[in-house]
């Protein structure tokens, strides 16, 4: 990895600020290679795809509420499982809705620091790993975190998402 001494972009800095406000010593790094997808992030970082935290925004069909699912990079979200937890049908959010509720573009959506509070579900499979990596505001920015910190950081509910 490289470029860690460069000034962060505004989006990455806002995630860094959100992390710092949580009182954890977590450091956003902006890289020269892409971390836009879980596969690209794992390749760039040199970790397993399963250690990548995908931050996926869904939208409830009736009340149009955002839902954040933090999924392991190797897992596909079962929308029926999330619907059962939320109590309302959900669908995948489009790029505009994702941007509107999080303040970030797809490929850079972080697990914290959104424009509004979003009900959050955490894939239990992420807790199999000690170390995880998540997006930090841009398709080139990530941060490393302990899986033990994920729940406290996001106030999410640990569930099976498969």
Residues in contact with ligand 5CA by the rule CB under 6 A = 35-38, 41, 52, 54-56, 92, 94-95, 106-109, 133-135, 139, 142
Query: 120: which strand partners?
Result: 68
**Among 76, 10, 50, 55, which Cα is nearest to 153's?**
55
Q: What is the DSSP letter of 15?
A: H
Chain-centroid distance of CA 121 in Å reads 11
Minimum distance of ligand 5CA from residue 90's CB (angstroms):
13
CB of 5 to ligand 5CA, least distance (A): 21
Minimum gap (Å) between residue 7 Cβ and ligand 5CA: 20
Closer of 49 and 86 to ligand 5CA (Cβ): 49
Q: How far is CA 109 from CA 5, 62, 64, 80, 161, in A?
A: 22, 24, 19, 23, 19
Q: Smallest distance, Å, CB 13 to ligand 5CA?
A: 17
Identity of the residue, 33 or 85, whose beta carbon is nearer to ligand 5CA in the bound complex: 33
């Amino acid at each position: 990895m490289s470029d860690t001494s460069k000034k962060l972009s505004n989006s990455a800095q806002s995630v860094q600020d959100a992390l710092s406000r949580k009182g954890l010593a977590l450091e956003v790094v902006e890289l020269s290679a892409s971390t836009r997808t879980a596969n690209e992030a794992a390749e760039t970082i040199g970790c397993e795809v399963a250690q990548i935290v995908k931050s996926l925004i869904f939208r409830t069909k009736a009340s149009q509420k955002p839902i954040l699912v933090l999924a392991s990079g190797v897992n596909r979200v079962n929308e029926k499982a999330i619907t059962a937890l939320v109590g309302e049908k959900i669908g995948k959010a489009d790029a505009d809705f994702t941007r509107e509720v999080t303040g970030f573009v797809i490929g850079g959506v972080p697990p914290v620091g959104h424009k509004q509070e979003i009900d959050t579900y955490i894939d239990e499979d992420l807790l199999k790993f000690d170390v995880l990596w998540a997006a930090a505001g841009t398709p080139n920015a990530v941060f490393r975190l302990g899986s033990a910190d994920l729940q406290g950081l996001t106030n999410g509910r640990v569930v099976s998402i498969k």
